[in-house]
Structure formats: C-alpha cells, structure tokens
Amino acid sequence: MMQAQLQGQGKKIGIVVAQFNDLVTDRLLNGATNTLNQFGVAPADIEIIKVPGAFEIPRMARILGESKQVDGVIALGAVVRGETPHFDYVCDATARGIAEVSLNGPVPVMFGVLTTDTMAQALNRAGGKGGNKGSDCATGVLQMISLQAQMA
C-alpha cells in the first residue's frame, strides 16, 4: 500500500494566485505558504505568480508546471457570485482549465479556487471557521508529489 508523506524539504512549489478579491486570496496565499514552510519547504523554494483573476490561473499553472522548475503547483483564487452570469462562466472555465492542466501536465496541481455565493463564505474558507483552503492545498500538493514519486 502506498501512503503519501508530508515532507517538503528540497521540494519546489509554484503558487499561481489571482489578485482579484485579494482580501480573500492574500489569506489563501498566507495559509499555503505558512503550511509549506511548516512541512519543510524553504521560502526560497516557493515561486509565487500573481495573475489578474481566476480566469488567468490555468494558463500560468500550465506554463509553470511545464517549466521543470517546480515539483507541484497550487492554484488559488476566489470567485464570488454577483448579479450577472459572469460568475458561472468564470467558475466553469477556471475549473475546466485547472483540471486539464492537472490531468495532462507533468506535476500535481491543486485546485484552491473558492467559488462562493458571498464574500463572507469566501472569508470563512480563507482562515475563518471553515479553515484555510490554501493550507489544505499545500498539504495536498505535498501528498500528491509524494505519491507521484512512489509511482515513478
């Protein structure tokens, strides 16, 4: 039986984070980086790329994942429902894009894009009662890197 290890020493992690809704995404980013550091990833081994919004995340996640400079990628963003269908289009395209990168790319990619009805729900998942999904993605990417290495 294979079991994932939470060991980050010597691992290089890329984080692609949306700047839109930065009140939320900054908290997700802090959760991710703090957790990576806690499990041994050196601050110098974390490459952070800030993109304008969630829609732009998949492209940069693909480029970063294919660069051979990182062992895994974390995608972070926050899309909050508004009054128009824009929310649905952005959520769908972002989720599909990140899934495609994850399935077809050389390194694990974690989906940390919040899709919520309200800003309060987003904040709750970015360090509130709902935990921090950035932190969850950090442990997830380390686990996936470990499992992928065991399969090699």
Domain count, the chain: 1
Q: What's the predicted TM-score (pTM) here?
A: 0.97
Flag whether 81 is marked binding.
no
Among the listed residues 66, 68, 54, the one whose alpha carbon sits nearest the alpha carbon of residue 17: 54
Q: Is 61 part of a structural domain of the chain? A: no
CA distance 143 to 79: 26
Of the residues 59, 68, 86, 96, only one is catalytic, namely 86
Flag whether 93 is marked binding.
no
The residue range of the domain holding 118 is 18-41+69-151
CATH number at residue 25: 3.40.50.960
Q: Is 46 part of a structural domain of the chain? A: no
Among the listed residues 111, 138, 143, 114, the one whose alpha carbon sits nearest the alpha carbon of residue 126: 114
Q: Is 85 part of a structural domain of the chain? A: yes
Q: Is 57 part of a structural domain of the chain? A: no
| Per-residue model confidence (pLDDT) at position 152 | 81
Q: Is 128 part of a structural domain of the chain? A: yes
The answer on pLDDT for 71 being more than 90 is yes
- Look up residue 143 and give its amino acid: Q
Per-residue pLDDT reduced to its tens digit, 76-110? 999 999 999 999 999 999 999 999 999 999 999 99
The answer to whether 65 touches 14, Cβ cutoff 8 Å, is: yes
Flag whether 87 is marked binding.
no
Flag whether 101 is marked binding.
no
Per-residue pLDDT reduced to its tens digit, 25-58? 999 999 999 999 999 999 999 999 999 999 999 9
Active site residue 86: yes
| Per-residue model confidence (pLDDT) at position 1 | 87
What does 96-138 look like in DSSP terms, one character per residue? HHHHHHHHHSSS-EEEEEEEESSHHHHHHTEEETTEEHHHHHH
